[in-house]
Structure 1
């Protein structure tokens, strides 16, 4: 009798251990797609789409600046994209993605290249961490991020 219960427990644990990584991999893939899509939208100048990645309750910390809420993050992004004297481009380097149920943590580096109309280029390398939470509609959005310029 105990042997049968032990066998059942082992089967359940094996089943669960096989599905947890799949779920984590699916969440990581969805978040990676969301980040890649955001980069494409930003680089294409789609100011109507650049706020989509951020949850309404986002708190964004960038070294040297006050914490930003959703409105401040969106204002900064749309203002940058509407600046006709400069061209902004982001490149994404994902270092690590960790999944914890409805939370995903991404360690990454954004590289921002700003081209001035006079031909000058400015490059900013920005390591950081984005924390995503699955929203009620199933989409993954950033609820916290921390970044700094090297």
Structure 2
């Protein structure tokens, strides 16, 4: 009797467990795709390619960056293009990903961006941020929302961080 109950329970749970394994694989694939998108954005920025940097952002992008007006895709892309044009190839970003949580077609990324000046790599700014990615209809992950705020380069991490 116990054996039969275990067998019935296993048969009832099998589709749920299989779905959980599939979802986990999809989430891992999403995380890998997002890491690749952020790496491609960093490379595009560092080579001065403003058009390629804009491809990371969804058409309905909303952003909040401390010290800058709230932005949509056009405003964010314009700020990036202006910075790249002004810098004459002297600016470079480093991206430090702290966490990626994926659930279906949405993901949250917690990260730090360090803006440096070439050729010496002197850090100009350090921004902590949170990006909300969405897998668009074309299957490509894009940032739909993001928030960023500058942190002091010399600031020591607070306890527990």
Aligned to 1:37: 40
Question: Take 1:114 and 1:27, find their aligned partners in 2: how far apart are those partners?
Answer: 32
What is the TM-score normalised by the length of structure 1?
A: 0.89
SS in structure 1 at match of 2:26: helix
1:103 matched to 2:106: yes
**Displacement, 1:110?**
0.4
Summarize deviations over 1:98-125 as a string: whole Å, max 9, x none: 0011001000000011359xx8x55201
Question: Take 1:43 and 1:3, find their aligned partners in 2: how far apart are those partners?
Answer: 58
| 8 Å CA contact 2:114, 2:123 repeated in 1 | no
What stretches of structure 1 of length at least 5 have no aligned partner?
none
Aligned to 1:133: 134
RMSD between aligned residues: 2.2
Number of aligned pairs? Answer: 148
1:75 matched to 2:78: yes
1:90 matched to 2:93: yes
Question: Take 1:84 and 1:148, find their aligned partners in 2: how far apart are those partners?
Answer: 21
Aligned to 1:49: 52
Q: 1:9 to 1:115 in 2, by over 3 A?
A: same
Aligned to 1:19: 22
Question: Take 2:124 and 2:15, find their aligned partners in 1: how far apart are those partners?
Answer: 51
Q: 1:10 to 1:64 in 2, by over 3 A?
A: same
Q: 1:2 to 1:114 in 2, by over 3 A?
A: same
What stretches of structure 2 of length at least 5 have no aligned partner?
152-161
Aligned to 1:148: 149
Among candidates 63, 74, 82, match of residue 60 of structure 1? 63
Flag as ranges the 4+ runs of structure 1 deviating above 4 A.
1-5
